[in-house]
Amino acid sequence: MVSFEELLKRNEKYAGGEGCFDLKEVKAAREETVKGQHPEVCIIACSDSRVAPETLLLAKPGEIFTIRTAGNVVDGEETLATIEYAVEHLKVKELVVMGHMSCGAVTATVEGGNEEGHLKYLMEKIKPAVDEARNALEREGKELNKENILERAIRINVMNVINEIQTRIPKVKELADKGELKLIPAYYNLETGKVIILE
Ligand SMILES: [Zn+2]
């Protein structure tokens, strides 16, 4: 089992372009986990092709239970059920929601385009974070340009998703309150390759 803290140390290697695992280690991990998985960490991340948690955190088979949706939003029964499975059956100890720099889903919401079909729905989910970002920047007397709004909205969206998970899945809140499940907001910087924990 590997903790998120340990994974962040591996991310330092990834960001620095240092070596990955020997494929023999990956093979060993695969063989060890044939009969079952016992991941300690569940990560909810964006589907963006540049932000695969297993790659950024140099995770081997069996180490991370991953859920990915555009904009790392959580709403549908499938996503909620998948989180419940991780928490109640796999008994993960850490639940990480990871947003990322230049997120396309959040960008589309900031730009407020007229998306059709299901995308429209996704943008409605992210919109509260964009509104809150504008308000926060205004309060702080910061410039309301697209870049500032976007970067702030990405972070607020992560916090909103963490809140939503606790509201929609009472068991998550219960375990978090008891200190048995850590809820971790995180952010991935495409430029530096680093994953950080948000304050
Ligand atoms: Zn994204």
Q: Residue type for 183, please?
A: L
In this prediction, residue 186 has a pLDDT band, given cuts at 50, 70 and 90, of very high
Here the contacts of 119-124 (C-beta below 8 Å, separation 24 or greater) are 122/70, 122/71, 122/73
CA of 45 to the centre of ligand 1 (A): 8
**H/E segment holding residue 15:** helix 4-15
CA of 49 to the centre of ligand 1 (A): 9
pLDDT, residue 110, reads: 96
- Mean pLDDT calculated for residue range 138-155: 97
CA of 170 to the centre of ligand 1 (A): 27
pLDDT, residue 21, reads: 80
CA of 159 to the centre of ligand 1 (A): 15
CA of 27 to the centre of ligand 1 (A): 30
In this prediction, residue 156 has a pLDDT band, given cuts at 50, 70 and 90, of very high
Per the structure block, which two tokens stand in for 136?
A: 């926060």
- β-pair type (195-197, 41-45): unpaired
CA of 103 to the centre of ligand 1 (A): 4
CA of 73 to the centre of ligand 1 (A): 10
CA of 98 to the centre of ligand 1 (A): 10
pLDDT, residue 92, reads: 98
CA of 48 to the centre of ligand 1 (A): 5
Backbone angles phi, psi at 93, to 5 degrees: -100, -20
Residue 199 pLDDT exceeds 90: no
Sorted by where each starts, the structural domains of the chain and their CATH numbers stand as 4-197 (3.40.1050.10)
**Signed CA dihedral, 147, 123, 86, 175: sign only:** positive
Residue 20 pLDDT exceeds 80: no
Mean pLDDT taken over the chain: 96
In this prediction, residue 37 has a pLDDT band, given cuts at 50, 70 and 90, of very high
First-residue to last-residue Cα distance in the chain: 25
In the chain the beta strands, taken as DSSP E runs, fall at 41-45, 64-68, 94-100, 182-188, 195-197
DSSP string, 80-128: HHHHHIIIIIS--SEEEEEEETT-HHHHHHHHT----HHHHHHHHHHHH
CA of 136 to the centre of ligand 1 (A): 22
CA of 106 to the centre of ligand 1 (A): 7
Contact between residue 166 and residue 84 where contact means Cβ atoms under 8 Å apart: no
Instruction: Give the model confidence (pLDDT) of 67-109 as tens digits.
Output: 999 999 999 999 999 999 999 999 999 999 999 999 999 999 9
Residue 61 pLDDT exceeds 90: yes
- Mean pLDDT calculated for residue range 148-154: 98
CA of 58 to the centre of ligand 1 (A): 20
State pTM to two decimals.
0.95
Residue 1 pLDDT exceeds 90: no
How far apart are the C-alpha atoms of 186 and 153, rounded to whole Å?
Answer: 13
- Mean pLDDT calculated for residue range 173-190: 98
In this prediction, residue 138 has a pLDDT band, given cuts at 50, 70 and 90, of very high
Burial of 13 per CB tally in 10 Å (0-12, 13-18, 19+):
middle
